[in-house]
Amino acid sequence: MRDFAAPHTRMPTANFTGSQEALFSPVQVRALMAAEFERARRYGEPLAGLLIGVDRLGQLTDFYGYEAKSEILEAIAELMNENLRAGDFLGCRIEDSLLLILPYTGRDGARALARRILSGARALVFEGGGRTLRISVSISAAYSDNPSSNHFSGLLEVTGNGLRAATEDGGDRFIEWKPVESDFDRLRRDLEDRIQSLRSDLPGGAPRETANMQDIAPAPLAAAAPVPPAAEEVPVAEAESSASLELSLSAKLRSLLDAQAAEGQEDSAALQGKIQELLTQHNRQIDVLERRISKLTRNLELTEDELKRMSLLKDVDVGVASIYRDVQGLNADAESAEAKKHMMANIFEANMELQTQINERARKD
C-alpha cells in the first residue's frame, strides 16, 4: 500500500523511465520514432503503440493534490517497467498519459501487455487522507500495419482518440480504436451513389442533348439487318436498371425503320410521326428521371441539414460513466466491516418497510 503522505519516493531506474522526469521528451521521441517507423516499414516488422491514461486523474489530483498525481504516475511507470522486456521499447509522457512504442511487437503481444498493465493497475492501492484509494487505467493501442497509424503522428492521433473513447466509456479498459463511419457519412454515401447511378443511366450523362435525331440516326434503309423483336414499351425501371435510354431508343427506331422497309411503305410523313412519338416518349422518361434526381438531391440536402442538426445535438452531455461496472458492496476488509454490515441491513430493512407501506397505500388508492 502506498501512502500519499509518505516522503515522495522515486521510481527505480529502468531502461526508459528512471523517473518521470527522465522519460524522453516528445521532441526526442519524434526524432527516434521517424527512424523506428522507417525500420519497421523497410523490414516489414510489426510495431505497436500503447497510450496509457489514469482514469479520472484530474479529479484525483483535485482531491488528493499534485503529490498524489506524481505518485500515481510513477507507480504506473514502475508497473510498466515490471511488465516490459528490457531494451525494446521507447516511452514518453504526453500531458498526463504515458506513451509506449513497442518495436517488433504485433497485436497479440500488445494485447497481452495491455491486459497485464490493466490488471496491475487495478491491484495498486494508495493511502491518502485516511482513505484507501484504488485506481484504474485506460489503454489505447495502434499498430504500424494500419495505414492510419503507420507514421508517428497518425499513431498518436489513433491512440489519442482511442484513449478518449475508453475514458468516455468509463475507463478501466483496453481499446483498439478504428475510425468509424458515422451514420451521416454512410447515408450521404448511399444517396450520392444512387444519384450517380441515376445520372449514369442518362444517355451520356447529359439528358436533353443526347435525345436528338443526329445521335440516334437510323440505320440505312437498304441494310438487310435481321428483324429484331417488335418494339415494346420500355418501363422506366428497366431503363434505369440496365440499358441506357439511348440504346433503348436506338433499338426502337431501328425496329421501326426495319418494319417500314419490310412493308415497303414510303410514307415519310407517317414515319416521321412515329419517330416523333418515340422521341416524345423518350423525353418523358428523361423528364421522370430528372425529376427523381432533383427530388433525391433535395432529400439529400434536407437529410444533410437534419444530420448536421443531430450531430450538433450530440454535443448534449451524454453523461459521465460511473467508475463501477457492477454493485460494489461492503469490503470485508474495511474498517468496522461487521458494524457497517449491520447498519446496511438496518437501512435496507427500514426502506423495505417503507416500500411495503407505499405499495399498500397505492393498492388502497
Partner 1 sequence: MSDADKKEGVLYIGIDLGTSRTSVSASNGVRETVGSYVGYPKDVVSQKLLKKDVLFGDEAVEKRLSLRFYRPLEHGVLKNSNADDKSDNEIQRAAEDLLKEAIRLAKPRKDELVYAVIGAPAQASIHNKEAIVRAARQTVDSVMLCSEPFAVAYGLEMLDDVLVIDIGAGTVDLCRMHGTMPEDTDQITLTSAGDFVDERISENIRTSFPEAQFSVQMIKAIKERHATVATDTERIRVDLPVKGKPTSFDITDELRNACRDMIPPIVEGLGKLVATFDPEFQERLKNRVLLAGGGSQIRELDSAIEEYMHQELGGGKVIRIEEAIYGGANGALKIAHDMPAEYWEKLS
**CB 40 to partner 1: min, Å:** 23
Q: Which of 47, 113, 175, 216 binds partner 1 (CB under 8 A)?
A: 175
Q: H or E segment at 91? A: strand 90-94
Kindly indicate which of the ranges 79-87, 97-105, 203-211, 322-330 contains the residues binding partner 1, using the contact rule CB under 8 A.
322-330
Please report, as residue ranges, which positions from 229 to 268 form the binding site for partner 1 (by CB under 8 A).
Answer: none
How far is it, in rounded angstroms, from Cα 24 to Cα 92?
A: 5
Work out which of 309, 361, 363, 364 binds partner 1, going by CB under 8 A.
361
DSSP calls for 53-119: EETTHHHHHHHH-HHHHHHHHHHHHHHHHHHS-TTS-EEEEETTEEEEEEET--HHHHHHHHHHHHH
Residue 318 engages partner 1 in binding (rule: CB under 8 A): yes
At its nearest, how many Å lie between partner 1 and the CB of residue 346?
4
Binding to partner 1 (CB under 8 A): which residues in 140-169? 166, 169
Neighbours of 289 (CB within 10 A): 19
3-state secondary structure of 137: strand
Question: Per-residue string for binding with partner 1, 49-88, x by CB under 8 A?
Answer: -------x--x-----------------------------
The 10 Å Cβ neighbour count of residue 144 is 25
170/55 Cα distance (integer angstroms): 8
Q: How far apart are CA 132 and CA 126, in angstroms?
A: 6
Instruction: Classify 172 in phi/psi space as left (phi over 0), alpha (psi -120 to 50) or beta.
Output: left
Written as nine digits, the cell of 28 is: 526526442
Among 327, 332, 333, 363, binds partner 1 (CB under 8 A): 327
Decide if residue 118 touches partner 1 (CB under 8 A): yes
Least spacing, CB of residue 47 vs partner 1, in Å: 19
Cα–Cα distance measured from residue 270 to residue 30, given in angstroms and rounded to the nearest whole number: 81
Rg (CA), the chain: 36
134 touching partner 1, by CB under 8 A: no
Residue 325 as a binder of partner 1 (CB under 8 A): the answer is yes
Q: Is 336 in the site for partner 1 (CB under 8 A)?
A: yes
Cell of 207: 439528358
CB 16 within 8 A of CB 24: yes
Q: Contact between 130 and partner 1 (CB under 8 A)?
A: yes
Stretch of residues binding partner 1 (CB under 8 A), selected from 71-79, 224-232, 256-264, 356-364 = 356-364
Name the one range near partner 1 by CB under 8 A: 17-25, 111-119, 232-240, 267-275: 111-119
- Residue choice 95, 328, 333, 363 for contact with partner 1 (CB under 8 A): 328
Q: Which stretch binds partner 1 (CB under 8 A): 173-181, 225-233, 241-249, 253-261?
A: 173-181
DSSP β-bridge partners for residue 137: 54
| DSSP H/E element including 191 | helix 183-201
Residue from 319, 332, 363, 364 touching partner 1 (CB under 8 A): that is: 319
* DSSP 8-state code for residue 336: T
DSSP character for 24?
Answer: B
Smallest gap from residue 334 Cβ to partner 1 (A): 8
For residue 6, count other CB atoms closer than 10 A to its CB: 12
List the Cα angle 31/94/170 in 5-degree steps.
140
Min dist. Cβ of residue 193 to partner 1 (A): 30
| Of 90, 144, 141, 143, the residue nearest 115 (C-alpha) | 141
Minimum Å distance from CB 308 to partner 1? 22
Q: Could you say which of 22, 221, 288, 330 contacts partner 1 (CB under 8 A)?
A: 330
> Which three cell numbers mark 84?
516490459
Interface segment toward partner 1; rule CB under 8 A; list 98-106, 197-205, 216-224, 340-348: 340-348
* List of residues contacting partner 1 (CB under 8 A): 56, 59, 111, 115, 118, 130, 166, 169-170, 172-176, 317-330, 334-336, 339-340, 342-344, 346-348, 350-352, 354-355, 357-358, 361
